[in-house]
Every structure is written in C-alpha cells, then in structure tokens.
Structure 1
Amino acid sequence: MRLLLAITGASGVQLGFKALELLPPDVTPYLILSDHAETVRRHERAKVFEDSDIAAPVASGSFPIDAMMVAPCSMNTLAKIACGIADNLVTRAAAVAIKERRTLLLAPREMPFSPIALENMLKLSRLGVVIAPPVMGYYAEHDSVEAMERFVVGKWFDMLGIGHDLYQRWRIEEA
C-alpha cells in the first residue's frame, strides 16, 4: 500500500509523526509537511515533499496513491479542501484524492469545532472523506500517553485498511 501523509498545523504534529513511525513495513509512506509542521521536525523514512512543490508527483491523479491522511488537519486546510482550493501541495493532493475517489482521512484537531468547521466536515463527509479527529477511546484503558497515541493511530489505520496491533480491540467475554 502507498500512503500519502500530510502533516499540517503546529498543535498535534506529534500524532502525525507517531502515525508515520508506527506504519507497518508493507506500507510505503510519502510525506508532505506544511511550513509550520516542517519547522517542528523532519523524518527520514518517507519521501518528503515541500508543500510549495505543486508539481510534485503526488499532485497528479496518475501517481498511484492508495490513501491520503492529513493528521493533524488544521481548520485552514480543512476549509480549503472543503471549498476546492488547491493552492499548495497538501490541498492539491487532497483534491486529487477526492477526484480520484481515493480514501482521504482528515484528522481535525481543534476543539471546540465552530459551526463553520462542522459544516465543512459534513460537506466533506458527504463526499466520502473520512473525518477522524484524534478522540480517545477510554474502553481501551490507556495507562500512558503512548498508549493513547497508539489507540488514535490504530483507529486511523483501521479506517485506511492498514493492519496493525496497536491497541487491544473490544472483545465479548465468553460466558
């Protein structure tokens, strides 16, 4: 599988990098860092594209990406995607994912959500975009921040069809 991961915004950037770190070896990652995320950290495993490189291969529908994830997804990026504004590589690649009917997962991080953000999320959801904010599942009984991060990333991987064992799944007890 080929996964395009875009990391935008400055708050929650560590979750995007955690997802990159926890990808199984059979997933080939491609990475776009927004200017703000770029200043936070560079990662070696993925091919990194500059957000300003609108001519990068991932901006084309003919480049074979199976899925795209924007984590975290800033409200600015979410709004641009919802309105079809493709003024940088992240938003162009997202527009291509929507156009090509590829899985697109957005992980908006802000709280609370404004009515405008909620309307944008609803619009995108109706187009088939997966809206998956990093929400904890307390039934998993996390005992550390690392366990909470693994849970969130695992839920994202579930929605993208990426196999993993990052958290303990819900089980029905046998009587």
Structure 2
Amino acid sequence: MKIIVGISGASGAALGIKFLHALPSEHKKHLIISEHAQIVLEKEENTVLHQNNEIWASVASGSYGADAMIITPCSMNTLAKIACGIADNLITRAASVMIKEQRKLILIPREIPFSPIALENMLKLSRLGVIIAPPALAYYGEQTTLEEMENFMMGKWMDLMGIENTLYKRWDDK
C-alpha cells in the first residue's frame, strides 16, 4: 500500500510523526510537511524538516497511484483550501488528487471548537467521500497514559485505511 502522510500547521504535529512511525514498514510512505507544521515541529520537537513546495513530487500526480492519504493534524486553513479546490502546495495538491481519483483521504482536524465555517467545509468534504476523523478519545479501552490515548487514535486511523494493527484494545463481547 502507498500511503501519504501530510502534516499541516496545527498544534500537535508530533502526532503526525508518531503516526508515520507507527505505520507498518511494508507500506510505501511519503511525508509532506507544510511550512507552518515545520515551525510547530521545530518549536515542539526541535526538529528540522523539509518544506511543502515540491509541487512536482510524485504524490502530486494521479498516475502515481497512492492508496490513501492522511493529514494529521489538519489545520483549518488546509481543510478550507482542500474544500475549495485550492492546490497551492504539495499537501493540498496531493489531497486534491486523492479526491479526483476517488481514493481514501482522511483529515484529522485538531483545532477546537469548530467554527460554523469549518463545520461547513467538513460537511462538504464528507459528502465528497473524505473521512473527517478528529483525534477523539474512547473511554472503553481503559487508556491511562497519553501514549495509550495516542495509540488508540492512531489505531483507529489505521483501521480507516484498512491497515491491521494492535495499537489499542478493541471492544469484545466479554
């Protein structure tokens, strides 16, 4: 499976990096990081990363054949651009291609509360087949640490992509 992980400039960009590392190694992974995410990561993680201006990259083409794309976190700016068809950087271009090719696109909007404009954009994208999956916790899994909570969310996102994982305790009949 070919998977694109986009990280836009919302706080919590480190979760996108954790998700990338949690993906099984047999999958081909592409990482796209916006300039604002780079700034957030540098401040939160002291990490220097590449920029989001490589619009010519393979993942900007439908013929590349990416199977899925997740943007975690997805800023409201990035979400709005995708909803309006603005493809002015590699993240938004790759997302546009995923919609055009009717491939799996998952957005992880992190900024709360959601404004009515953001909710309208999410509804519009949802009607186009985009999956909107904010980082929401479950209370049945008995998570007690931040890492367990993050693993639950990342496991649910992998479930949406059809990737088997054991990152969280699943509901059972017992």
Question: TM-score, normalization: structure 1?
Answer: 0.93
> How do 1:16-165 residues align onto structure 2 when only pairs under 5 Å count?
16-39=16-39, 40=41, 41=47, 50-165=51-166
Amino acid at match of 1:37: A
- Aligned partner of residue 139 in structure 1, secondary structure: coil
Alignment partners' CA distance in 2, 1:106 and 1:152: 13
Could you tell me how far 1:42 is from its partner in structure 2?
5.0
Compute the RMSD of aligned alpha carbons.
1.2
Matched with 1:170 is: 171
Alignment partners' CA distance in 1, 2:8 and 2:31: 11
Mark the CA change 1:65 to 1:42 in structure 2 (over 3 Å): closer, same or farther. Answer: farther
Matched with 1:11 is: 11
Could you tell me how far 1:38 is from its partner in structure 2?
2.1
Which has the larger displacement, 33-42 or 22-31?
33-42
Amino acid at match of 1:118: L
The total of aligned residue pairs comes to 168
Amino acid at match of 2:87: A
Alignment partners' CA distance in 2, 1:10 and 1:94: 17
Alignment partners' CA distance in 1, 2:171 and 2:126: 26
- List per-residue Cα deviations over 1:27-56 (Å, max 9, x = no partner): 11100000122232357xxxx6x3111111
**Unmatched 5+ stretches in structure 2:** 42-46
Alignment partners' CA distance in 2, 1:30 and 1:56: 10
- Aligned partner of residue 136 in structure 2, secondary structure: coil
